[in-house]
Amino acid sequence: MSKLRLAIVGAGPAGIYAADLLIKSEIRDFDVSVDLFDLLPAPYGLVRYGVAPDHPRIKGIIKALYEVLDRGDIRFFGNVTYGKDITLDDLKKHYNAVIFATGAVQDAELNIPGVELEGSVGAAAFVNWYDAHPDFERSWDLSAKEVAVIGNGNVALDVARVLVKSPARMLETDIPENVYKGLLSSNATDVHVFGRRGPAQVKFSPLELREAVHVDGVDTIVHDEDFQYDEGSNKQIESNNQTRVMVKTLEELRTKEQTGAAKRLHLHFFSSPVEIIGENGKVKALKIERTKLDGNGGVVATGQFREIPVQAVYRAVGYFGSELAEIPFDSKSGIIPNDKGRVLDSSGAHIKGVYATGWIKRGPVGLIGHTKSDAIETIAQIIEDKPTWWQPVSPEEEAIVSLMDSRGVEYVGWPEWLKIDAEEKRLGQAQERKRIKLVEREDFLNIAKGEKS
């Protein structure tokens, strides 16, 4: 029986699921050896660094991913940067194939005037701050009293909720001290969330919506003029239970009595951002154009404009993939061009041995279930392509380790991650919390080496 030496670049859900599904596959007729590489010293990708800290249910996905990696049949190498510590040529010398599962961590662009103003920021950068990503800022300017969040997806609601929630409640999560102190300094009293379509077209999940509109000490405000439905909207409400639940939740807010709370969450629909207005180089207001339904659930512009005074704008209009060295990249879509996971060159031909899965394959849409189906599809192509795999000159499992050692790469293996994991839990236990995240790469590496942070 032949053996597949497979490298996977990206140790988030997409990469881990691909490794697990291949190992468990019943249609392969060969042995498998899988190595996972990630540029971060921690596994789990966006589940650790993209999910709001006050989402313990979603964080529970980590438990399942942990169990996969803890079996011992998949090797993890964290703190390894593809294109720097290891290259495509290195992978060809040591593996039969590679899957890129690098996800999407950048903010998608919003092309309206004023995005460059001080106080206009991408939501992904804010998420990376409150999730303690080691490669992002340690502090955050939360001086704005009135804040706009552009977007009608779950990230927009996460950002809005974190901005209005009591910092004391965030101590129930794994946030480190710098994030807690930052949130304590927040001046936000009014957070406005803007969506260009109506209540029946929002991209929130029911859970995200309920959590956002039921934050203690916060009044949620909606506007009667925003509750419009056309034939397309009604069909969506009738046919989709998730839409029906969200519309019901939003409709109930219309009659909910305000409490006079010190903080307010404003939900605006049919509001398309057209300009971020500045003064002295800083955000002063958001200009929106009112939209209306077109009969099919879509919207058209009305030519009616409004300005809402705000001092900060968070752009939550989606994530965008990052280009990888020596790998084709679609700069419009932010993905690696592919056919069912087979990476394609500029002529549309499959680049032998190179595959993609997850958000870098299909774009930043869908939930964990989609990530699994993505992985199944990509794995099927690899199995089918067996005759075209690379023929590595050094396929031995220790060869890649020797290569990284010779280059002085300070990789974090699974045994080292378990030390880090234990240290985060110890830090949390000292404050009667489940965990406190480490932030600095240096601290990760010191603990990996057996030194305290």
- 141-156 pLDDT tens trace: 999 999 999 999 999 9
Please report which confidence band the pLDDT of residue 55 belongs to, taking 50, 70 and 90 as the band edges: confident
Burial of 242 (0-12, 13-18, 19+ CB in 10 A): exposed
Q: Residue 26: its pLDDT value, please?
A: 87
Q: Residue 137: its pLDDT value, please?
A: 85
Q: What is the mean pLDDT of residues 13-41?
A: 95
> Is it the case that residue 453 has pLDDT exceeding 60?
no
- Domains in the chain (CATH in brackets) are 3-105+321-409 (3.40.50.720), 106-319 (3.50.50.60)
Q: Residue 1: its pLDDT value, please?
A: 52
Give percent above pLDDT 70 in the chain. Answer: 99
How far is C-alpha 426 from the geometric centre of its chain's CA atoms?
A: 27
Helix (H, G, I), strand (E, B) or coil at 27: coil
51-89 burial string, b = 16+ CB within 10 Å, else e?
bbbbbeebbebeeebeebbeeeebbbbbbbebeebbebe
Q: How far apart are CA 196 and CA 292, in angstroms?
A: 9
Q: What is the DSSP letter of 257?
A: P
Q: What is the mean pLDDT of residues 129-137?
A: 94
Query: Which residues, other chains included, contact 164 with Cβ-Cβ below 8 Å and sequence gap of 6+?
Result: 188, 191, 215, 218, 263, 264, 265
Q: What is the mean pLDDT of residues 242-250?
A: 95
Q: What is the DSSP letter of 289?
A: E
The lowest-confidence range among 267-281, 318-332, 361-375 is 361-375
Contact 182, 140 (CB under 8 A): yes
Query: Which residues, other chains included, contact 308 with Cβ-Cβ below 8 Å and sequence gap of 6+?
Result: 146, 148, 192, 285, 286, 288
Question: Could you read off the pLDDT of 266-306 as tens digits, one per residue?
Answer: 999 999 999 999 999 999 999 999 999 998 889 999 999 99
Query: Which residues, other chains included, contact 241 with Cβ-Cβ below 8 Å and sequence gap of 6+?
Result: none
Q: What is the mean pLDDT of residues 163-183?
A: 95
* pTM for this predicted structure: 0.94
> Is it the case that residue 369 has pLDDT exceeding 90?
no
Q: What is the mean pLDDT of residues 171-199?
A: 96
Letter for the amino acid at 52?
A: A
Letter for the amino acid at 375?
A: A
Minimal CA–CA distance to 195: which of 316, 15, 37? 316
> Is it the case that residue 340 has pLDDT exceeding 90?
yes
Q: How far apart are CA 274 and CA 284, in angstroms?
A: 14
Question: Could you read off the pLDDT of 370-424 as tens digits, one per residue?
Answer: 788 999 999 999 999 999 999 999 999 999 999 999 999 999 999 999 999 999 9
Contact 101, 10 (CB under 8 A): yes
Q: Residue 450: its pLDDT value, please?
A: 87
The H or E element that residue 19 is part of is: helix 13-24
163-173 burial string, b = 16+ CB within 10 Å, else e?
bbbebeebeeb
Please report which confidence band the pLDDT of residue 119 belongs to, taking 50, 70 and 90 as the band edges: very high
Q: How many CB atoms lie within 10 A of CB 329?
A: 15
> Is it the case that residue 452 has pLDDT exceeding 70?
no
Q: What is the DSSP string of 297-332?
A: S-EEEEEEEEEEE-SEEEE-S-EE----TTS--BTT
Q: How many CB atoms lie within 10 A of CB 236?
A: 18
Q: Residue 249: its pLDDT value, please?
A: 95
Q: What is the mean pLDDT of residues 199-217?
A: 92
Q: Residue 370: its pLDDT value, please?
A: 79
Q: Residue 105: its pLDDT value, please?
A: 87
Please report which confidence band the pLDDT of residue 56 belongs to, taking 50, 70 and 90 as the band edges: confident
Q: Residue 451: its pLDDT value, please?
A: 72
